[in-house]
Chains A and B, each alone.
Chain A
Amino acid sequence: MYGFEAMTFNIHGGYLEAIVRGHRSGLLTAADYNNLCQCETLDDIKMHLSATEYGPYLQNEPSPLHTTTIVEKCTLKLVDEYKHMLCQATEPLSTFLEYITYGHMIDNVVLIVTGTLHERDVQELLEKCHPLGMFDSIATLAVAQNMRELYRLVLVDTPLAPYFSECITSEDLDDMNIEIMRNTLYKAYLEDFYRFCQKLGGATAEIMSDLLAFEADRRAVNITINSIGTELTRDDRRKLYSTFGLLYPYGHEELAVCEDIDQVRGVMEKYPPYQPIFSKLSYGESQMLDKAFYEEEVKRLCLSFEQQFHYGVFFAYMRLKEQEIRNLMWISECVAQNQKSRVHDSVVFIF
């Protein structure tokens, strides 16, 4: 029923859309960031944040603050908001909201598995996990020795199970395997999410397919750059690219054979939407690529708020909030380590 969402959307989605738009207006603005960047100590940051939506979450923290506390409390706020929305959501919005967290789940799985591989304490690892990607029995991941066990023991109960079908091998886990697993899972996840959004149809499908395509393309570029100079074969590399997005399929063919960053650049510059991103970078540089991508993503996410009656706003809000927390973390880290000159390196203004 494309174009007719306005008639029925508000029956179930109206309240939550209002909520999420309200949350969005609580995001920090450029003025806030300017003030935050001038802070001298973490207490200053706390003082400034206490005048924002984060106030209640930070006000009871005793004074010698740490970056981790700030980030933890800010994440707690995001999680509280997410849980509230999830509680209120009906189908299919609740499934949509759950899809948003799968990415974190994959990251958490990888984090735990890598951690146990390097003999870290499970509790310590659990604390590092993103709270949105937690599931029951996540700690049990430490028991598994190889992918097959991983799947059979734990992940079969989680929503990630179907994504595993491509990477069940009996090989022992090592860093390389885990990284491949992460990318395979992510690929399957993105494709599944994409299909789900297509099924929802309407404005949701339109907007989400844009956002997810951007995500898929960004991952493809990252995979390519990260795998340059490793023993990953071209075919293996191509297998990790998601089967949708602007680069699919011809761009993938070209990316798969790239041998250095300038070749990647050459491939990407054929695609008009990505031209401005790469034109900002000087040749041979890949450090600032992440930030350029983040900026582009934030721009696209903000634009999705321009349209009404679709679920893309929830995805966009969660992403923007995560970006905001990343910003806060970077600023706090810079302030704490007296590196204020570098504050602007990685902060992405949202408005």
Chain B
Amino acid sequence: MADHGGGGCCPPMDLFRSEPMHLVQVIIPIESARLTVSYLGDIGLIQFKDLNAEKSPFQRTYASQIKRCAELARKLRFFKDQMSKADVKSSAKSEAKPEFNFDELEIKLGELEAELTEVNANNEKLQRGYNELVEYKLVLQKAGEFFKAAQSRAEAQQTEASSQQAAEDSLETPLLKDQDSTADQGKQVKLGFITGLVPQGRSMAFERILFRATRGNVFLRQSSVDEAVIDPNSGEKVEKNVFVVFFSGERAKSKILKICEAFGANRYPFAEDLGKQAQMILEVSGKLSELKTTIDAGLSHRANLLETIGKQYEQWSELVRKEKSIYHTLNMLSIDVTKKCLVAEGWSPIFATQQIQDALQLATVDSKSQVGAIFQVLHTKELPPTYFRTNKFTESFQTIVDAYGVAKYQEANPGVYTVVTFPFLFAVMFGDWGHGICILLATLFLIFREKKYSSQKLGDIMEMTFGGRYVILLMALFSIYTGLIYNEFFSVPFELFSPSAYACRDAACSEATTIGLIKARDTYPFGVDPAWHGSRSELPFLNSLKMKMSILIGVAQMNLGIILSFFNALYFRNPVNVWFQFIPQMIFLNGLFGYLSLLIIWCTGSQADLYHVMIYMFLSPTDDLGENQLFPNQKTVQLVLLLLSLIAVPWMLLPKPFILKAQHNRIHQGQSYTPLEGTEESLQVEAGHDSHDHEEFEFSEVFVHQLIHTIEFVLGAVSNTASYLRLWALSLAHSELSTVFYEKVLLLAWGYNNWIILIVGIIVFIFATVGVLLVMETLSAFLHALRLHWVEFQNKFYEGDGYKFAPFSFALLVDEDE
């Protein structure tokens, strides 16, 4: 194990290797346990191991405390619910330390809850009475209307009938009719009726059932209430109908009563007498206004109560959250047989040792415990967690790497290089300094409002953008730089550094054509000469430039990856990987593509076809090179390089598995002959952890693994290099798109000389630029840069099978919960 201080090959770097960690054991006396864990949580640099994994949550030592916390959390949720219903906002977090402890809080919350529920119950009772009265009043009004209408109609009928009788005093049926009407009147007296309210949605079914149950022997009148009424039973707003049912007979009555009950229809007594009705209405109105004032008083009381709760709500909930996490952590510790102390095990970075010891001491003093906590380092063969100390700038870059896989403990961290290479590769694809400035402004806005935004909750996409603000900042800066090299500003070239090196040969050479330019001045000092823009040879020239550049960048980055694998091998003292992985890989990659890169650099300006050189180097290495002859002895050099590359393949493939096998055999033999070595102490410690160390060495598996690795590398060398051509492709797409938007939208609109078309054109141009170029293109270039890092760069060296350091920390707790 290369754990302490590194292999001595390189100076300590914070971000390059993850923090050295050790497994520590803390023995805490039980009386100071809570305080100790709380102080450790404040530091937040120790990751506790769960020593009771086989116990279910409620069998653990502090299960009852956790239950209490859960109960308090429930009460707090209840308050929060009530507060949001009453529109009371909890005040922002105050920095003042909560002046009460857990037990007091428990009592206090219990009292508050009881008070609140009582107030609620009272209010509900009053509200219920109030709602009933409202309904009653409605019934009185509506049913009164029925009766009045019915009466007036009856009167009208009677007068009509009597007038009819008078007019048509015929001989045929006078007596019978008279009898009928009197008989009717006689029956009417015996009719009973029920009034009430029924929910509008169920009124149809209500009517139907009534009809069926009484075989049609009812008379039902309904009228809808204009406004929704609050149902006294459920407390919800419901649209309701006032109904009056007339029936005859006791059986029908009991049936109707049952039906009313079943439909949740509230019945109210109703007097037939008009005078009584008016009196009732008056009475009810009086009661209503009385109740209203009582309810208002109750509500204001409740609001006050909630207000006081709201003031301290945040403090309380934080306290409860902390308390709960403390007990969760305590539950992970194993309890000593004597029940006098708790034993904690956990990972912590070595630099935090002093801090942790101080905290332990402080806790001992503060809890007035007689015995201090014991802190000791354990030796283990387990792989420690990976912990990088990042700041707000490097954090987002590290996140990009971690999204692929968390680095193995202390392996070379690609995050260091990602800080520069990621925005740079992005910028190669996004080269336009106009667009770069737009993005720069946007991200500067985010950075200047950092304080404000980091404390509040943002939307999904906004949160992501805000999290990556420093990545975007660098991306913008780099794309301004590459934009200056490409000489693109919304696809318009500028003569920024000096006038173009080319000029017309004579006055006849118009601006539109670019044939016949001669070199008039010195070469354009920085980037692409603006004269190339719009010329017929613009594309071939830029393509050749960007393609070659992509290959150079790609080969450089892949070499960096392989070199990092060398550093890893050195750091972990693994010479096999140096000799049988690093060296043949370097030879293979550089023998083919390193040579290509050199040709690109040395032979700029020559007519030679580099594809041809590369392809025929494989196909017919001995043939005459013809016009592709670039330097003397080229054929010999190429033959040597090709042979070296060919040798490199079996070099990578064969020796490593055999050497591993030999190593394994040697260790195994040694073990069987000298079983007892080392001090007793180390044996004791290792006994527990050693058991799973004797893995079976499967030669075939290792060999197949190596085979796959080799094939992947050999094919990858070709395909990864080709993959870097995406730098060229995306950059081309970006510049072509911006040209299209500029020429086919903005200039076209300009050409009409009509200000309406111009405005429309400008709007379309702005939307297309923002939507397509600034948002979509940024995303796609980002994704491609991400891929180049994850696949082409990291597969050369990065194992990424570690696990992250997840310390017990109060600071992280808050984010987690929200």
In the complex, B70 has a CB within 8 A of chain A: yes
**Which residues on A sit within 8 Å (CB–CB) of B77?**
59-60
Chain A: CB-nearest residue to B59: A38
- Given A44-B58, A50-B70, A59-B74, also A154-B258 (CB < 8 A): no
Segment from A72-80, A139-147, A171-179 that makes contact with B? A139-147
- Determine whether the beta carbon of B58 is less than 8 Å from that of A153: no
Are B78 and A140 neighbours in the complex by a CB distance under 8 Å?
no
Q: List 17 A-B contacts (CB under 8 A).
A: A44-B58, A44-B63, A47-B63, A47-B70, A48-B56, A48-B58, A51-B57, A60-B78, A136-B202, A137-B209, A138-B262, A140-B262, A141-B262, A143-B258, A152-B212, A153-B209, A153-B213
Q: Which residues of A contact B (CB under 8 A)?
A: 35, 38-40, 43-44, 47-48, 50-51, 59-63, 122, 136-143, 152-154, 157
Known A-B contacts A60-B77, A154-B209; the reply to A139 vs B58 at CB < 8 A is no
Most B Cβ at <10 Å: residue of A38, A62, A141: A62
| Extra pairs beyond A43-B67, A60-B77, A63-B67 (9, CB < 8 Å) | A39-B58, A47-B57, A47-B66, A47-B70, A60-B78, A62-B74, A122-B262, A139-B262, A142-B258
Are A38 and B56 touching (Cβ within 8 A)? yes
Select one of B58, B66, B71, B258 contacting A140, CB under 8 A: B258
CB contacts (< 8 Å) of A137 on chain B: these are: 202, 205, 209, 262-263
C-alpha gap A154/B212 in the complex (Å): 9
CB distance from B196 to the nearest CB of A (A): 15
Asked, given contacts A38-B59, A44-B58, A137-B205, whether A143 binds B213 with beta carbons under 8 Å apart, the answer is yes
B220 at the interface (CB under 8 A from A): no
B169: chain A residues at CB < 8 Å are: none
Instruction: For the complex, count residues of B whose C-beta is within 8 A of A.
Output: 24
Beta-carbon contact of A140 and B56 below 8 Å:
no
Contacts of A140 in B (CB 8 A): 209, 213, 258-259, 262-263
Report which of B56, B70, B213 forms a contact with A35, defined as CB distance below 8 A. B56
Q: Residue B261 at the A interface, CB < 8 A?
A: yes
Indicate if B255 sits at the interface (CB-CB under 8 A): yes
Interface residues of B in 241-263 (CB under 8 A from A): 255, 258-259, 261-263
Establish whether residues B212 and A139, one from each chain, have CB atoms under 8 Å apart when the complex forms.
Answer: no
Partner of B212, one of A50, A61, A63, A153: A153
Smallest CB gap from B64: residue in A: A43
CA distance A38 to B212 in the complex (A): 55
Q: Which residues of B contact A44 (CB under 8 A)?
A: 58, 63
Q: Contact: A143 with B262, CB < 8 Å? A: yes
Interface residues of B in 25-50 (CB under 8 A from A): none
Which chain A residue has the least Cβ–Cβ distance from B68? A63
Q: How far is the CA of A157 from the CA of B207 in the complex (A)?
A: 13
CA distance in complex: A38, B259 (Å): 48
Contacts of A50 in B (CB 8 A): 70
Most buried by A among B56, B63, B261: B56
Chain B hits for A59, CB < 8 A:
70, 74, 77
Q: Please report B residues at the A interface, Cβ cutoff 8 Å.
A: 56-59, 63, 66-67, 70-71, 74, 77-78, 202, 205, 208-209, 212-213, 255, 258-259, 261-263
Q: For A39, give the chain B residue with the smallest CB separation.
A: B58
The residue among A50, A51, A61, A139 with the most chain B CB atoms within 10 A of its own CB is: A139
User: Is there an interface contact between A157 and B57, defined as CB atoms closer than 8 Å?
Assistant: no
Least distance between A342 CB and chain B CB atoms (Å): 20
In contact, A142 and B262 (Cβ under 8 angstroms):
yes
Q: Tell which of A47, A138, A141 touches B58, judged by Cβ atoms closer than 8 Å.
A: A47
Q: Report the bound CA distance from A304 to B815 in whole Å.
A: 42
Residues on B with beta carbons closer than 8 Å to the beta carbon of A47: 57-58, 63, 66-67, 70
- A140-B209, A152-B212 given; A63·B262 CB < 8 A: no
Q: Which residues of B contact A35 (CB under 8 A)?
A: 56
User: 4 closest pairs, A vs B, by CB?
Assistant: A139-B262, A44-B58, A35-B56, A140-B262
Residues of chain B lying within 8 A (CB to CB) of residue A154: 209
Give Cα A122 to B263, complex, Å: 11
Q: B63 to chain A: which residues have CB within 8 Å?
A: 44, 47
Instruction: Please report the C-alpha to C-alpha distance between residue A143 and residue B206 in the assembled complex, in whole angstroms.
Output: 13
Of residues B58, B208, B263, which shows the largest number of chain A Cβ atoms within 10 Å of its Cβ? B58
Known contacts A44-B58, A152-B212, A153-B213; is A63 also within 8 Å of B205 by CB? no
Measured in the bound complex, the distance between the Cα atoms of B261 and A12 in whole Å is: 41
- Collect the chain A residues with CB atoms within 8 Å of residue B205's CB: 136-137, 157
Q: Which residue of A lies closest to B71 (CB)?
A: A63
Is there contact, CB below 8 Å, between A143 and B70? no
Question: In the complex where A136-B205, A153-B209 touch, is A48 in contact with B258 (Cβ < 8 A)?
Answer: no
A38 proximity list for chain B (CB < 8 A): 56, 59
Does A60 lie within 8 Å of B258, measured CB to CB? no
Alpha-carbon distance between A63 and B56 when the two chains are bound, in angstroms: 20
Known A38-B59, A39-B58, A136-B202; judge A143-B255 contact (CB<8 A): yes
CB distance from A343 to the nearest CB of B (A): 15
A253 CA to B600 CA, complexed, in Å: 94
Tell me which residues across on chain B come within 8 A of A142, comparing CB atoms: 258, 262
* Docked complex Cα distance between A116 and B262 (Å): 13
Specify which of A39, A43, A63, A143 lies most central, judged by the most chain B CB atoms within 10 Å of its CB.
Answer: A143
Q: How far is the CA of A38 from the CA of B67 in the complex (A)?
A: 17
Q: Give Cα distance in the complex from A177 to B59, angstroms.
A: 51
For residue A284, give the distance in angstroms from its CB to the closest CB of chain B.
Answer: 39
Chain A residues lying within 8 Å of B261, measured Cβ to Cβ, are 122, 139
State in angstroms the CA–CA spacing of A62 and B262 once bound together.
31
| Chain A residues, Cβ within 8 Å of B209 | 137, 140, 153-154
Chain B's nearest CB lies how many Å from the CB of A42?
A: 11
Which residues does chain A contribute within 8 Å of B58, judged by CB atoms? 39-40, 44, 47-48
